[in-house]
Amino acid sequence: MKDIINKFKVTDGKKFSLKDYDTSFSGDYKKEDTDELLAGMIKQLSTLQEALYADSRYAILIIFQAMDAAGKDGAIAHTLSGLNPEGCEVYSFKEPSHEELLHDFMWRSVKALPEFGRIGVHNRSHYENVLVTKVHPELLLKEKLPGVKSVKDIDKKFWKHRYESICAFEKHLTENGTTIIKFFLNVSKEEQKERFLQRIEDPDKNWKFSASDVYEREFWDDYMKAYEKAIQETSTEECPWYVLPADKKWFTRVAISNIILDTLKGLKLDYPVLPKEEKDKLEEAKGRLLKEN
């Protein structure tokens, strides 16, 4: 699947255009093979997670961004189902709280960063501050930023600084041991409509639907422009975006698992080798245990 993974990988934002990415792509893969493929990859991920913890030199930060009903929650549940919960933390970022608004826009993401040896998953992330706020700039007034007294003060220079802050933040993390995997689940407007209707028609899924979802759908084109710009401005070799087709949930999950697995393998994780002094202590402890009745 390496070639297909590279098909979705964006390392040079200047060349990126969202229209070049097919939301329904699934290649030569078949839905009926999904369970077997995922089971095999989940088993490998479990082994690598143990090595990640033992090695304790790296942390993994997985970011999921998408429009509503693109399948973020399901993707997280399915692709990370085999991991040890003690070594994996999932944060879902909602509308900023009063406390969060009293800090800079990166603060709540920094608080939720994974420790070395652990995997952190951010369901939405610091990118909300160049996505939702780009579509609804009036929300920025809640941050009480210096020099921003009205929406008119939010100009191209403001957004340029936000993108630069994000790139600097991610560069700092990658240079200090945190590997970042950024997923944009690229669902079509038509597929989102179908999923919304399913949530309305199925009583067991009603809780997933909010009237505000339809309201935000009216800004679809604005959101697509915001996503495209964010990916253009924040894609690098060290911290690329993966723009994954999301109309077929089963394929999205296979692609996500492959990318996470490929990333972990690339770290070349090692189990710690004990110095001779510690090995001698192990042998001594072994001898004592064997002498017990």
**In the chain, what are the domain boundaries?**
2-291
Q: What is the pLDDT of residue 164?
A: 98
Cα separation, 67 vs 245, whole angstroms: 12
Q: How far apart are CA 16 and CA 194, in angstroms?
A: 28
DSSP state string for 128-152: GGGTHHHH-GGGGGGG--TT-SSGG
Nearest to 145 by CA among 125, 170, 165: 165
Within 8 A by CB and 6+ apart from 248, the residues are 24, 26, 31
> Which superfamily does 2-291 belong to?
P-loop containing nucleotide triphosphate hydrolases (3.40.50.300)
Residue tagged 């492959």 (tokens): 258
DSSP-H helix ranges across the chain: 2-8, 34-55, 72-79, 98-101, 107-111, 132-135, 156-175, 189-201, 211-217, 220-234, 249-266, 276-291
Distance CA 227, CA 222 (A): 9
Question: Residue written as tokens 């990333």?
Answer: 263
**pLDDT by 10s per residue, the chain, length 293:** 667 778 999 999 998 999 999 999 999 899 999 999 999 999 999 999 999 999 999 999 999 999 999 999 999 998 888 888 889 999 999 999 999 999 999 999 999 999 999 999 999 999 999 999 999 999 999 999 999 999 999 999 999 999 999 999 999 999 999 999 999 999 999 999 999 999 999 888 888 888 888 899 999 999 999 999 999 999 999 999 999 999 999 999 999 999 999 999 999 998 888 788 888 899 999 999 999 96
Distance CA 115, CA 113 (A): 7
Instruction: Report the chain's C-alpha Rg in angstroms.
Output: 22
CA-CA distance, 213 to 54, in Å (whole number)? 42
Residues 101/95, Cβ–Cβ less than 8 Å: no
What span, in angstroms and rounded, lies between the C-alpha atoms of 292 and 216?
69
Give the pTM: 0.93
Percent share of the chain, pLDDT over 70: 99
How crowded is residue 102: how many other Cβ atoms within 10 Å of its Cβ? 11
